[in-house]
């Protein structure tokens, strides 16, 4: 549940089929089901600088 550097919840890999991208499913799945249960108020995400969709997420 914690990043090695900042000791906060983080997301390093999440894959959503292209037919389901942009519908908000990833946010619902990851945040509501997992992070809410852990009472996390922030989530770090590791993304490649060229991955616009991940940056927006």
pLDDT tens track for 31-44: 666 777 777 777 77
Please tell me the predicted confidence (pLDDT) of residue 23. Answer: 83
The pair of structure tokens assigned to 41 is 């108020």
pLDDT tens track for 2-52: 666 777 777 777 777 888 788 877 767 666 667 777 777 777 777 889 988
Q: What are the domain boundaries of the chain?
A: 10-56
DSSP E strands in 1-57: the ranges are 10-11, 44-45
Task: Give the C-alpha separation, 9 to 18, whole Å.
Answer: 26
The pair of structure tokens assigned to 17 is 């089929």
The pTM of this model reads: 0.45
């Amino acid at each position: 549940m914690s990043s090695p550097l900042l000791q906060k919840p983080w997301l390093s890999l999440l894959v959503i089929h292209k037919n389901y991208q942009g519908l908000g499913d990833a946010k619902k799945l990851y945040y509501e089901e997992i992070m809410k249960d852990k009472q996390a108020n922030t989530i770090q995400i590791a993304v490649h600088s060229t991955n616009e969709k991940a940056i927006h997420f």
